[in-house]
Amino acid sequence: MNNVSKLCFGTLTLSPLQQNFSPARAADLMEYAFHQGVNFFDTAEIYESYPLFREFLKRDLPREEVFISSKCYAYDRKTAKESLDLALESMDTPYIDLFMLHEQESQHTLRGHAEALDYFAEMKSKGRIGHIGMSSHFVAGVRAGAVHPLIEVIHPIINKAGLGIVDGTRQDMEEAIKFAKSKGKFIFAMKALGGGHLLKSYGEALEYVLGLPYIDSLAIGMQSEEEIAANVLSVMKNQIATRAVDRSRKLIIDSYCIGCGNCVARCQQGALSLVKGKAVVDTSRCVLCSYCVQSCEDFYIKVV
Ligand code: SF4
Ligand code: SF4
């Protein structure tokens, strides 16, 4: 992980769950970022964006200089193999640089994924995975990952307002991340801008995360050349702009919602509830992670 850029291109924004860019448009943006010095690109199985990466990897770039990360929900050997095979085949790459377990909550969830982690370790020894990691919105998850012998990278949520941290405060998460760093883990922060909520205080929000000495890299979702250029200046050249490039995103729920409650159950942030038989979002809690989008079979909930 020594050579990854401090800024990681979070590609949820480009995926079918959000902007739904064509593979060519997404690859153009990723290639643009690469030429600006960004070599770290993050996705996840649930983002359904592997075809965008397949297109990107077809571009004339040295594969060994591009660092790709993905995450999955595998819990046993079979699901771990399926997830890894899907990633490698869909992106048409012989290996993935970083493969992570998504949304780990505590030592108990990590224990429940032990078989998957063992499979990843086996695949790492065969060169199909570069590094093993986990993502978490939980203080307890970060603390559990910190002492897990197979976890090398922790991808925690951290931002100035403490948005999205499920089981504690910003200070609790800072302490957990610091602990993980002391155990030799690579810290790859997410949601420094609170999923878009902190765009109004963009400079201060980035200054906060960049000021934490134990953060090695941070993922920011981007969707235009202008946004990439601004974040490269802020994160990699220490020229933090006071204002963000104008980019507003929001969660919308179609009036056709039948109130089945699937999305409500899926949201870890408690941002959704049913009111008079329809899903309703509390925008102050929603971090625009898009996890709920896939839970609606009829696509009545989306981030745009
Ligand atoms: S409402 Fe959806 S997008 Fe918002 S925090 Fe919950 S799961 Fe994420
Ligand atoms: S999953 Fe879809 S239909 Fe069900 S409550 Fe949510 S938005 Fe409505």
Q: What is the pLDDT of residues 242-285, one digit of tens each?
A: 777 767 778 889 998 999 999 999 998 999 999 999 999 998 88
Q: Please state the atom number of ligand 1 nearest to the C-alpha of residue 285.
A: 5
Closest CA to 195 of 289, 70, 274: 289
The ligand with the least distance to the CA atom of 261 is 2
Instruction: Compute the distance from residue 250 Cα to the ligand 1 centre, in Å.
Output: 10
Q: What is the pLDDT of residues 206-234, one digit of tens each?
A: 999 999 999 999 999 999 999 999 999 99
User: What element of type H or E holds 170?
Assistant: helix 170-182
Instruction: Compute the distance from residue 272 Cα to the ligand 1 centre, in Å.
Output: 7
Average pLDDT value for residue range 70-95: 97
Instruction: Compute the distance from residue 158 Cα to the ligand 1 centre, in Å.
Output: 16
Closest CA to 190 of 34, 31, 36, 12: 12
115 backbone φψ class: left, alpha, beta (φ>0; ψ -120 to 50): alpha
Residue 294 scores a pLDDT above 90: no
Would the CB of 292 count as within 6 Å of ligand 1? yes
Closest residue to atom 4 of ligand 1, CA basis: 286
Instruction: Compute the distance from residue 92 Cα to the ligand 1 centre, in Å.
Output: 31
Q: CA–CA separation, 128 vs 150, rounded Å?
A: 15
Average pLDDT value for residue range 79-88: 98
CATH number of the domain at 7-236, please?
3.20.20.100
Q: What is the pLDDT of residues 147-202, one digit of tens each?
A: 999 999 999 999 999 988 999 999 999 999 999 999 999 999 999 988 777 888 89
Of 3.30.70.20, 3.40.50.300, 3.40.50.2300, 1.10.10.10, the CATH number of 251-303 is: 3.30.70.20
Can you give the pLDDT at residue 293? 86
The ligand with the least distance to the CA atom of 293 is 1
At 63, is the secondary structure helix, strand, or coil? helix
**pTM (two decimals):** 0.87
The ligand with the least distance to the CA atom of 249 is 1
Q: What is the pLDDT of residues 29-81, one digit of tens each?
A: 999 999 999 999 999 999 999 999 999 999 999 999 999 999 999 999 999 99
The ligand with the least distance to the CA atom of 274 is 2
Pairing of strands 186-189, 40-42: unpaired
Can you give the pLDDT at residue 244? 74
Would the CB of 253 count as within 6 Å of ligand 2? yes
Which of 102, 290, 295 most suits a substitution to test ligand 1, by most atoms within 8 Å of the C-beta? 290
Q: Please state the atom number of ligand 2 nearest to the C-alpha of residue 299.
A: 2
According to CATH, where is 3.30.70.20 located in the chain?
A: 251-303
Would the CB of 66 count as within 6 Å of ligand 1? no
Instruction: Compute the distance from residue 166 Cα to the ligand 2 centre, in Å.
Output: 22
According to CATH, where is 3.20.20.100 located in the chain?
A: 7-236
Would the CB of 281 count as within 6 Å of ligand 1? yes
Percent of the chain predicted with pLDDT > 90: 79
Closest residue to atom 4 of ligand 2, CA basis: 260
Can you give the pLDDT at residue 121? 98
Q: Contact at 8 Å (CB) between 153 and 100?
A: yes
Give me the long-range contacts of 160-163 (CB less than 8 A, separation at least 24).
Answer: 160/194, 160/198, 160/201, 160/204, 160/205, 160/208, 160/209, 161/194, 161/197, 161/198, 161/205, 163/191, 163/194, 163/195, 163/197, 163/198, 163/287
